[in-house]
Amino acid sequence: MKENNNKIQSATAVILAVFVLAFSCAFFLMEKKEFSESENRYLSAFPEFSAETLKNGDFMEGVQTYLADHFPCRDMFMGIKAEAEIAAGKREINGIYIADDGYLIEAYKAPKNTEKIVGNFQKFYEAVKDEDVSVSLLLVPTASVIYAEKLPSFAQEPDQMGEREAIYARSGLPKIDCYGALMDKKDEMQLYYRTDHHWTSYGAYAAYTAYCEQTGIEPVMLEDLVAKEVSADFRGTIYSKLNDGRMGKDTITVFENPENQLTVFYTDTKETTDSLYNFAYLEKKDKYSLFLDNLHSLIEITNETADSERELVLIKDSYANSMVPFLVNHFKKIYVFDTRYYKQGPSSFVKEHPEVTDVLILYNMNTIDTDLGIGGIY
Protein backbone atom coordinates (compact mmCIF):
# COMPACT_ATOMS: atom_id res chain seq x y z
CA MET A 1 0.00 0.00 0.00
CA LYS A 2 2.75 2.35 1.04
CA GLU A 3 4.66 1.68 -2.12
CA ASN A 4 1.70 2.36 -4.31
CA ASN A 5 1.20 5.71 -2.62
CA ASN A 6 4.81 6.63 -3.03
CA LYS A 7 4.50 5.87 -6.72
CA ILE A 8 1.53 8.17 -7.04
CA GLN A 9 3.39 10.90 -5.15
CA SER A 10 6.38 10.50 -7.42
CA ALA A 11 4.11 10.70 -10.42
CA THR A 12 2.55 13.89 -9.01
CA ALA A 13 5.95 15.53 -8.65
CA VAL A 14 6.84 14.49 -12.20
CA ILE A 15 3.60 15.86 -13.61
CA LEU A 16 4.10 19.17 -11.83
CA ALA A 17 7.68 19.41 -13.08
CA VAL A 18 6.58 18.58 -16.63
CA PHE A 19 3.83 21.19 -16.40
CA VAL A 20 6.36 23.86 -15.48
CA LEU A 21 8.87 22.77 -18.12
CA ALA A 22 6.22 22.55 -20.82
CA PHE A 23 5.27 26.18 -20.31
CA SER A 24 8.85 27.40 -20.17
CA CYS A 25 9.64 25.57 -23.42
CA ALA A 26 6.42 26.76 -25.03
CA PHE A 27 7.36 30.29 -24.15
CA PHE A 28 10.54 30.07 -26.20
CA LEU A 29 8.93 28.26 -29.11
CA MET A 30 5.85 30.41 -29.31
CA GLU A 31 5.56 33.34 -31.67
CA LYS A 32 5.42 36.63 -29.76
CA LYS A 33 2.59 39.05 -30.47
CA GLU A 34 3.09 42.77 -30.35
CA PHE A 35 -0.52 43.64 -29.81
CA SER A 36 -3.16 41.77 -27.88
CA GLU A 37 -6.46 41.97 -29.73
CA SER A 38 -8.36 40.47 -26.83
CA GLU A 39 -6.98 42.90 -24.29
CA ASN A 40 -6.85 45.74 -26.78
CA ARG A 41 -3.40 46.90 -25.77
CA TYR A 42 0.21 46.69 -26.85
CA LEU A 43 2.08 43.98 -25.01
CA SER A 44 5.35 44.97 -23.46
CA ALA A 45 8.56 44.61 -25.45
CA PHE A 46 11.74 43.02 -24.18
CA PRO A 47 13.45 45.63 -22.00
CA GLU A 48 16.56 47.44 -23.02
CA PHE A 49 19.68 46.03 -21.44
CA SER A 50 22.22 48.53 -20.14
CA ALA A 51 24.25 49.25 -17.05
CA GLU A 52 21.70 51.90 -16.13
CA THR A 53 18.57 49.74 -16.44
CA LEU A 54 20.39 46.96 -14.65
CA LYS A 55 21.35 49.21 -11.79
CA ASN A 56 17.95 50.74 -11.20
CA GLY A 57 16.13 47.47 -11.69
CA ASP A 58 14.12 48.56 -14.76
CA PHE A 59 15.57 45.70 -16.71
CA MET A 60 14.41 43.10 -14.21
CA GLU A 61 10.99 44.62 -13.93
CA GLY A 62 10.77 44.76 -17.72
CA VAL A 63 11.64 41.09 -18.02
CA GLN A 64 8.95 40.26 -15.51
CA THR A 65 6.21 42.09 -17.41
CA TYR A 66 7.54 40.79 -20.72
CA LEU A 67 7.27 37.21 -19.49
CA ALA A 68 3.79 37.75 -18.07
CA ASP A 69 2.56 39.52 -21.22
CA HIS A 70 3.83 36.86 -23.60
CA PHE A 71 3.09 33.86 -21.43
CA PRO A 72 1.61 30.95 -23.43
CA CYS A 73 -2.20 30.81 -23.31
CA ARG A 74 -2.39 34.13 -21.53
CA ASP A 75 -6.02 34.69 -22.54
CA MET A 76 -7.04 31.27 -21.33
CA PHE A 77 -5.38 31.88 -17.97
CA MET A 78 -7.15 35.22 -17.61
CA GLY A 79 -10.45 33.47 -18.20
CA ILE A 80 -9.61 30.72 -15.70
CA LYS A 81 -8.89 33.29 -13.05
CA ALA A 82 -12.11 35.19 -13.66
CA GLU A 83 -14.18 32.00 -13.63
CA ALA A 84 -12.51 30.80 -10.43
CA GLU A 85 -13.24 34.08 -8.71
CA ILE A 86 -16.85 34.10 -9.80
CA ALA A 87 -17.18 30.51 -8.61
CA ALA A 88 -15.73 31.55 -5.25
CA GLY A 89 -18.49 34.12 -4.91
CA LYS A 90 -16.66 37.26 -5.98
CA ARG A 91 -18.86 39.84 -7.62
CA GLU A 92 -16.20 42.43 -8.24
CA ILE A 93 -13.06 41.51 -10.15
CA ASN A 94 -10.38 43.97 -11.30
CA GLY A 95 -12.76 46.85 -10.62
CA ILE A 96 -15.58 45.26 -12.65
CA TYR A 97 -18.92 44.25 -11.15
CA ILE A 98 -20.45 41.01 -12.32
CA ALA A 99 -23.92 42.55 -12.49
CA ASP A 100 -27.38 41.20 -13.27
CA ASP A 101 -28.71 40.47 -16.77
CA GLY A 102 -25.23 39.73 -18.10
CA TYR A 103 -23.95 43.23 -17.51
CA LEU A 104 -20.33 43.89 -16.62
CA ILE A 105 -20.27 47.30 -14.99
CA GLU A 106 -17.19 49.29 -14.28
CA ALA A 107 -16.87 50.37 -10.65
CA TYR A 108 -16.76 54.13 -10.11
CA LYS A 109 -13.45 55.03 -8.58
CA ALA A 110 -13.39 57.68 -5.90
CA PRO A 111 -12.04 60.75 -7.72
CA LYS A 112 -8.61 62.15 -6.99
CA ASN A 113 -8.30 65.10 -9.31
CA THR A 114 -11.55 66.98 -8.85
CA GLU A 115 -9.69 70.05 -7.63
CA LYS A 116 -7.56 70.25 -10.71
CA ILE A 117 -10.40 69.58 -13.12
CA VAL A 118 -12.69 72.15 -11.59
CA GLY A 119 -9.84 74.64 -11.80
CA ASN A 120 -9.35 73.91 -15.48
CA PHE A 121 -13.05 74.32 -16.21
CA GLN A 122 -13.08 77.66 -14.41
CA LYS A 123 -10.07 78.90 -16.33
CA PHE A 124 -11.59 77.85 -19.61
CA TYR A 125 -14.86 79.56 -18.73
CA GLU A 126 -13.01 82.73 -17.69
CA ALA A 127 -11.12 82.76 -20.98
CA VAL A 128 -14.13 82.49 -23.30
CA LYS A 129 -16.77 84.27 -21.23
CA ASP A 130 -16.45 87.51 -23.14
CA GLU A 131 -16.81 85.84 -26.50
CA ASP A 132 -20.25 85.51 -27.95
CA VAL A 133 -20.65 81.81 -27.25
CA SER A 134 -22.93 79.75 -25.04
CA VAL A 135 -20.95 77.26 -23.00
CA SER A 136 -22.35 74.19 -21.27
CA LEU A 137 -21.11 71.21 -19.36
CA LEU A 138 -22.57 67.74 -19.67
CA LEU A 139 -21.35 65.15 -17.17
CA VAL A 140 -22.58 61.67 -17.98
CA PRO A 141 -23.26 59.29 -15.10
CA THR A 142 -21.80 55.85 -15.74
CA ALA A 143 -23.71 52.59 -15.86
CA SER A 144 -23.08 52.00 -12.17
CA VAL A 145 -25.51 54.86 -11.42
CA ILE A 146 -28.08 54.39 -14.16
CA TYR A 147 -28.14 50.62 -13.70
CA ALA A 148 -27.56 50.71 -9.95
CA GLU A 149 -30.28 48.11 -9.43
CA LYS A 150 -28.26 45.61 -11.46
CA LEU A 151 -25.20 45.88 -9.23
CA PRO A 152 -24.55 43.03 -6.79
CA SER A 153 -26.08 43.54 -3.35
CA PHE A 154 -24.15 45.72 -0.93
CA ALA A 155 -21.70 46.90 -3.62
CA GLN A 156 -19.63 49.71 -2.17
CA GLU A 157 -19.91 52.51 -4.69
CA PRO A 158 -18.57 55.99 -3.94
CA ASP A 159 -21.17 58.75 -4.33
CA GLN A 160 -20.88 59.51 -8.04
CA MET A 161 -23.90 61.79 -8.24
CA GLY A 162 -22.70 63.86 -5.31
CA GLU A 163 -19.34 64.22 -6.94
CA ARG A 164 -20.98 65.23 -10.18
CA GLU A 165 -23.03 67.90 -8.45
CA ALA A 166 -19.89 69.20 -6.77
CA ILE A 167 -18.11 69.57 -10.11
CA TYR A 168 -21.12 71.36 -11.62
CA ALA A 169 -21.45 73.70 -8.69
CA ARG A 170 -17.80 74.52 -8.28
CA SER A 171 -16.90 74.95 -11.91
CA GLY A 172 -19.70 77.48 -12.37
CA LEU A 173 -20.36 76.23 -15.92
CA PRO A 174 -23.97 76.11 -17.13
CA LYS A 175 -25.23 72.62 -16.47
CA ILE A 176 -26.81 70.20 -18.88
CA ASP A 177 -28.31 67.32 -16.97
CA CYS A 178 -28.90 64.04 -18.79
CA TYR A 179 -29.57 61.95 -15.68
CA GLY A 180 -33.33 62.28 -15.91
CA ALA A 181 -33.39 61.52 -19.64
CA LEU A 182 -31.29 58.38 -19.15
CA MET A 183 -33.44 57.21 -16.24
CA ASP A 184 -36.61 57.80 -18.31
CA LYS A 185 -35.36 55.72 -21.20
CA LYS A 186 -33.60 52.91 -19.38
CA ASP A 187 -36.56 50.52 -19.40
CA GLU A 188 -37.26 51.15 -23.07
CA MET A 189 -33.81 50.68 -24.53
CA GLN A 190 -30.32 49.45 -23.74
CA LEU A 191 -28.36 52.55 -22.77
CA TYR A 192 -24.97 51.03 -21.99
CA TYR A 193 -23.13 48.10 -23.47
CA ARG A 194 -22.93 44.95 -21.41
CA THR A 195 -19.24 44.41 -22.06
CA ASP A 196 -17.90 47.90 -22.74
CA HIS A 197 -17.55 51.00 -20.61
CA HIS A 198 -19.30 53.21 -23.18
CA TRP A 199 -22.94 54.00 -23.68
CA THR A 200 -24.79 52.76 -26.71
CA SER A 201 -26.18 54.98 -29.45
CA TYR A 202 -29.45 54.88 -27.49
CA GLY A 203 -27.75 56.20 -24.37
CA ALA A 204 -26.14 58.92 -26.44
CA TYR A 205 -29.52 59.74 -27.99
CA ALA A 206 -31.20 60.08 -24.61
CA ALA A 207 -28.54 62.51 -23.46
CA TYR A 208 -28.80 64.34 -26.77
CA THR A 209 -32.51 64.96 -26.25
CA ALA A 210 -31.69 66.40 -22.83
CA TYR A 211 -29.11 68.69 -24.43
CA CYS A 212 -31.58 69.81 -27.08
CA GLU A 213 -34.32 70.46 -24.57
CA GLN A 214 -32.05 72.54 -22.36
CA THR A 215 -30.55 74.56 -25.21
CA GLY A 216 -33.72 75.08 -27.21
CA ILE A 217 -33.01 72.82 -30.15
CA GLU A 218 -35.71 70.72 -31.79
CA PRO A 219 -34.31 67.14 -31.59
CA VAL A 220 -34.62 64.74 -34.50
CA MET A 221 -36.81 61.74 -33.86
CA LEU A 222 -35.06 58.39 -33.67
CA GLU A 223 -37.68 56.99 -36.05
CA ASP A 224 -36.67 59.53 -38.69
CA LEU A 225 -33.14 58.18 -38.79
CA VAL A 226 -31.92 55.00 -40.39
CA ALA A 227 -30.81 52.46 -37.79
CA LYS A 228 -28.14 49.97 -38.79
CA GLU A 229 -27.12 47.00 -36.73
CA VAL A 230 -23.46 46.84 -37.65
CA SER A 231 -22.18 44.22 -35.25
CA ALA A 232 -23.72 41.53 -33.09
CA ASP A 233 -20.54 40.12 -31.61
CA PHE A 234 -18.99 43.09 -29.88
CA ARG A 235 -16.92 42.36 -26.78
CA GLY A 236 -15.65 45.60 -25.35
CA THR A 237 -13.08 46.97 -22.98
CA ILE A 238 -14.65 45.61 -19.81
CA TYR A 239 -14.81 42.16 -21.28
CA SER A 240 -11.08 42.44 -21.97
CA LYS A 241 -10.31 42.96 -18.33
CA LEU A 242 -11.73 39.54 -17.54
CA ASN A 243 -11.38 37.65 -20.83
CA ASP A 244 -13.96 35.20 -19.63
CA GLY A 245 -15.46 33.51 -22.67
CA ARG A 246 -18.72 32.81 -20.90
CA MET A 247 -19.67 36.48 -20.90
CA GLY A 248 -22.11 37.53 -23.59
CA LYS A 249 -21.78 39.74 -26.64
CA ASP A 250 -23.13 43.14 -27.52
CA THR A 251 -24.88 44.57 -30.53
CA ILE A 252 -23.76 47.90 -31.98
CA THR A 253 -26.41 49.98 -33.66
CA VAL A 254 -25.58 53.20 -35.48
CA PHE A 255 -27.95 55.90 -36.75
CA GLU A 256 -27.62 57.86 -39.96
CA ASN A 257 -29.55 60.66 -41.49
CA PRO A 258 -29.39 59.98 -45.25
CA GLU A 259 -30.17 63.60 -46.02
CA ASN A 260 -27.02 64.92 -44.37
CA GLN A 261 -24.13 65.94 -46.60
CA LEU A 262 -21.11 65.53 -44.40
CA THR A 263 -17.46 66.36 -44.75
CA VAL A 264 -15.37 64.92 -41.94
CA PHE A 265 -11.82 66.21 -41.83
CA TYR A 266 -9.31 64.65 -39.44
CA THR A 267 -6.81 67.46 -38.96
CA ASP A 268 -4.07 65.31 -37.47
CA THR A 269 -4.01 62.68 -40.22
CA LYS A 270 -5.26 65.09 -42.94
CA GLU A 271 -7.86 62.58 -44.06
CA THR A 272 -11.27 63.56 -45.32
CA THR A 273 -14.33 61.31 -45.53
CA ASP A 274 -18.08 61.73 -45.75
CA SER A 275 -18.99 59.39 -42.91
CA LEU A 276 -18.97 59.61 -39.13
CA TYR A 277 -18.12 55.95 -38.95
CA ASN A 278 -15.08 53.93 -39.84
CA PHE A 279 -16.43 50.45 -40.34
CA ALA A 280 -12.94 49.03 -40.75
CA TYR A 281 -12.99 48.73 -36.94
CA LEU A 282 -15.68 46.08 -37.21
CA GLU A 283 -12.95 43.64 -38.20
CA LYS A 284 -11.11 44.40 -34.98
CA LYS A 285 -11.67 43.80 -31.32
CA ASP A 286 -12.22 47.40 -30.31
CA LYS A 287 -15.35 48.00 -32.33
CA TYR A 288 -16.56 51.08 -30.45
CA SER A 289 -13.73 52.92 -32.20
CA LEU A 290 -15.82 52.94 -35.36
CA PHE A 291 -17.50 56.07 -34.02
CA LEU A 292 -15.48 58.98 -35.40
CA ASP A 293 -12.48 56.76 -36.06
CA ASN A 294 -11.46 56.47 -32.40
CA LEU A 295 -9.10 59.18 -31.16
CA HIS A 296 -8.14 62.37 -32.92
CA SER A 297 -6.95 65.61 -31.44
CA LEU A 298 -9.22 67.73 -33.65
CA ILE A 299 -11.89 66.74 -36.14
CA GLU A 300 -13.81 69.23 -38.31
CA ILE A 301 -17.26 68.10 -39.34
CA THR A 302 -19.23 70.14 -41.85
CA ASN A 303 -22.88 69.48 -42.58
CA GLU A 304 -24.29 71.45 -45.52
CA THR A 305 -27.83 70.43 -44.63
CA ALA A 306 -27.79 71.33 -40.93
CA ASP A 307 -30.89 73.11 -39.66
CA SER A 308 -28.92 76.14 -38.48
CA GLU A 309 -25.81 78.15 -39.18
CA ARG A 310 -24.51 77.55 -35.67
CA GLU A 311 -21.04 76.20 -35.06
CA LEU A 312 -20.15 74.00 -32.11
CA VAL A 313 -16.91 73.35 -30.31
CA LEU A 314 -17.14 69.96 -28.62
CA ILE A 315 -14.60 69.19 -25.92
CA LYS A 316 -15.02 65.62 -24.89
CA ASP A 317 -13.99 62.07 -24.23
CA SER A 318 -14.98 59.04 -26.29
CA TYR A 319 -18.57 59.06 -24.98
CA ALA A 320 -19.29 61.99 -27.25
CA ASN A 321 -18.21 60.07 -30.35
CA SER A 322 -21.54 58.28 -30.46
CA MET A 323 -23.51 61.48 -29.79
CA VAL A 324 -22.03 63.43 -32.69
CA PRO A 325 -24.22 61.57 -35.24
CA PHE A 326 -27.24 63.27 -33.63
CA LEU A 327 -25.63 66.67 -33.08
CA VAL A 328 -24.59 67.08 -36.73
CA ASN A 329 -28.20 67.67 -37.67
CA HIS A 330 -28.15 71.04 -35.93
CA PHE A 331 -24.69 72.49 -36.48
CA LYS A 332 -23.21 73.55 -39.73
CA LYS A 333 -19.83 72.91 -38.30
CA ILE A 334 -18.63 70.90 -35.32
CA TYR A 335 -15.06 71.08 -34.07
CA VAL A 336 -14.41 67.97 -32.01
CA PHE A 337 -11.55 68.26 -29.56
CA ASP A 338 -9.91 65.57 -27.56
CA THR A 339 -7.82 67.50 -25.06
CA ARG A 340 -5.80 64.44 -24.22
CA TYR A 341 -4.34 64.80 -27.68
CA TYR A 342 -4.97 68.45 -28.58
CA LYS A 343 -2.43 70.43 -26.64
CA GLN A 344 -2.80 73.99 -27.87
CA GLY A 345 -5.90 74.65 -25.81
CA PRO A 346 -9.40 75.05 -27.23
CA SER A 347 -9.97 78.41 -25.54
CA SER A 348 -7.58 80.14 -27.92
CA PHE A 349 -9.28 78.27 -30.73
CA VAL A 350 -12.64 79.68 -29.67
CA LYS A 351 -11.20 83.21 -29.57
CA GLU A 352 -9.68 82.85 -33.00
CA HIS A 353 -12.95 81.59 -34.46
CA PRO A 354 -15.64 84.19 -33.82
CA GLU A 355 -18.11 82.18 -35.90
CA VAL A 356 -18.29 79.58 -33.10
CA THR A 357 -21.63 79.96 -31.30
CA ASP A 358 -21.71 77.03 -28.88
CA VAL A 359 -19.31 75.11 -26.69
CA LEU A 360 -20.23 71.77 -25.18
CA ILE A 361 -17.95 70.03 -22.72
CA LEU A 362 -18.89 66.37 -22.37
CA TYR A 363 -17.28 63.77 -20.13
CA ASN A 364 -18.40 60.63 -18.42
CA MET A 365 -17.78 60.49 -14.71
CA ASN A 366 -15.11 57.81 -14.89
CA THR A 367 -12.83 59.36 -17.50
CA ILE A 368 -13.16 62.89 -16.22
CA ASP A 369 -11.01 61.99 -13.28
CA THR A 370 -8.36 60.08 -15.15
CA ASP A 371 -8.16 62.54 -18.03
CA LEU A 372 -5.27 64.64 -16.83
CA GLY A 373 -4.65 65.91 -20.36
CA ILE A 374 -7.67 68.04 -19.62
CA GLY A 375 -5.01 70.50 -18.48
CA GLY A 376 -4.96 71.60 -22.10
CA ILE A 377 -8.58 72.64 -21.92
CA TYR A 378 -8.10 76.39 -21.57
Q: Which residues of 43-64 are buried (b: 16+ CB within 10 A; e: fewer)?
A: bbeebeeeeeeeeeeebeebee
> What are the phi and psi torsion angles at 321 (to 5°)?
-55, -30
**Contact residue for other proteins among 27, 35, 49, 279 (CB under 8 A):** 27
Examine residue 50 and tell whether it contacts other proteins (CB under 8 A): no
45, 68, 227, 280: residue in contact with other proteins (rule CB under 8 A) = 68
The answer to whether residue 19 forms part of the interface with other proteins (CB under 8 A) is yes
Contacts of 355 (CB under 8 A, 6+ apart): 311, 333
Q: Does 216 bind other proteins (CB under 8 A)?
A: no
Output b/e per residue, 220-234; b: 16+ Cβ within 10 A. Answer: bebeebeeeebbeeb
First-to-last alpha carbon distance for the chain, in angstroms, is 80
94 binding other proteins? (CB under 8 A): yes
Which residue of 36, 43, 44, 74 would you call a contact of other proteins, by CB under 8 A? 74
Tell which one of 54, 169, 227, 232 touches other proteins (CB under 8 A). Answer: 54
Q: Is position 92 an interface residue for other proteins (rule: CB under 8 A)?
A: yes
115 or 218: whose CB is closer to other proteins? 115
Count of other CB atoms within 10 angstroms of residue 271? 13
Query: Collapsing DSSP states into helix, strand and coil, what is residue 262?
Result: strand
49 near other proteins, judged by CB under 8 A: no
Residue 45 in the binding site for other proteins (CB under 8 A):
no
Quote the least distance from Cβ 371 to other proteins, whole Å. 23
Q: Residue 149 interacts with other proteins (CB under 8 A)?
A: no
Return d(Cα 290, Cα 277) in angstroms, integer.
5
- Which chain residues interact with other proteins by CB under 8 A? 1, 4-5, 8-13, 15-17, 19-21, 23-24, 27, 54-55, 57, 60, 63-64, 67-68, 71, 74, 77-78, 80-81, 84, 88-92, 94, 110, 152-156
